[in-house]
Amino acid sequence: MRWQAREKGTSPSSSPSGATPPAAPADAGLPSEAPATELAEAVAALRALDHVPAAHAALFERVCAPQWRARQRLSGKAFYPALSAEAASQRLSNGFHLIDFARLRLDEAELRPLWEGLSAVLAEFGELSPAQAERGRKLAAAGKLSLTELAGIVLEGDGARLAALARRVRLPQRHLAWLATFMLRPHLAAAAESLAARLGGVSWPHPTCPACGHEPLMALLVRPDGRRLAECSMCATRWEARRGRCAFYGNEDKESYKFLYYDLDSPYRVDVCDKCRRYLKVADERKMAVGWATQLAAEDVATLYFDVLVATRDTRRPGGPCRASRLPRRQSQRGGDSD
């Protein structure tokens, strides 16, 4: 996305039309804070791209703004207990991700603004009826729908409990999972940030995030050495996913593991594995303008044409709501800490 803006002759901080970044969306119940600079820059960059529909850029902004603000509020808050270096090393060496969901202290009061704001987005784009959005808001406000319980169900990937909850509150199951995922993302990101020191220098050969166990959203080839770093779809933690092999199950067979691209000079491509039917879009930071922090969430929207391309190959997009948080070889990680 940055490269394309540069190709169009625009500077990193401006759109071709010279328009100013969009104003903060009026999310009900949220503090009236200006969107983060990074978000405004990402939205402006998306809008400058001819191939990104305006509705996609608008949706990106509407979905990300509440999460961005929540992330800023949660930064520095201790809602995940400290983890000793020894305990962290023990978990990682045994293949467990650091965050034990049973110990995640979610705050209903912090979840509610996200719930309301994101429900409004779904209603705005026609995914929920206004009546459904209003019912969800009232249920949460009255305490008849526990958002922490919903978040826990989604973290555990318990489809049966989610279905039962959806029937009880009379809201679509898919949207409950969607809403829970986006409510959780700022919390998991903040928890992962508090544990960042425990991840430094760790060798992690698994296909899911070492912090929270979720799948990557995209990957980045970083300067200067071109290491491929996968970025978590939930907490945005980055870990090294060795090049030349499938990031999910290590397939190195060149007949079944390859990448698709349109132009070698473009920073974007998609790595596809025909054995596990997974794919991972990759952005090459070395081919982008220097000095910009790469926002992979926005790059994901800017490269949806790759998702469309590989959808015809019967592949499964990584990440997403209600994915199991367990590593392929491990069972439940409840009660694993001993610090």
Partner 1 sequence: MKLTRRTFLKMSGALAGYLLTGPSLWGGVRVPAAYAGVGPKVGQDTTSVCCFCGGGCGNVVTASEGRVVAVEGDPASPINEGALCSKGQAAYQTANQIVAEETLRDDGRYALGGTLAAWPAGRRLARVLYRAPGASKWEVKSWDWALERIAQRVVETRQVTWEAKAGEITVNRTQAIAALGGAAHDNEECYLMQKLWRGLGLVYVEHQARI
Q: How far is the CB of 228 from partner 1 (least distance, A)?
A: 8
Handedness of CA 186, 192, 197, 203 (dihedral sign): negative
Q: Whole-angstrom Cα distance, residue 168 to residue 192? A: 33
262 touching partner 1, by CB under 8 A = yes
For residues 61 and 337, which CB has a smaller minimum distance to partner 1 in the complex?
61
What residues contact residue 56 under an 8 Å CB cut-off, 6+ apart? 46, 301, 304
What is the DSSP secondary structure assignment for residue 48, as one 8-state letter?
T
Nearest CA among 188, 220, 242, 195 for reference residue 89? 195
x/- letters, 307..326, toward partner 1 (CB under 8 A): xxx-xx---xx-xxx-----
Strand (E) or helix (H) holding 175: helix 173-194
49 touching partner 1, by CB under 8 A = yes
Among positions 22, 24, 38, 56, the unique one binding partner 1 when judged by CB under 8 A: 56
Q: How far is the CB of 188 from partner 1 (least distance, A)?
A: 13
What residues contact residue 144 under an 8 Å CB cut-off, 6+ apart? 169
102 touching partner 1, by CB under 8 A = no
Q: Whole-angstrom Cα distance, residue 210 to residue 192? A: 9
Among positions 36, 59, 87, 324, the unique one binding partner 1 when judged by CB under 8 A: 59
Among positions 224, 290, 293, 331, the unique one binding partner 1 when judged by CB under 8 A: 224
269 touching partner 1, by CB under 8 A = yes
Q: Is omega for the bond preceding 224 within 30 degrees of 0, making it cis?
A: yes
Residue ranges binding partner 1 (CB under 8 A): 4, 49-53, 55-56, 59-60, 63, 122, 125-127, 174, 178, 181-182, 217, 224-228, 233, 240, 242-245, 252, 254, 257-264, 269, 300-301, 304-305, 307-309, 311-312, 316-317, 319-321
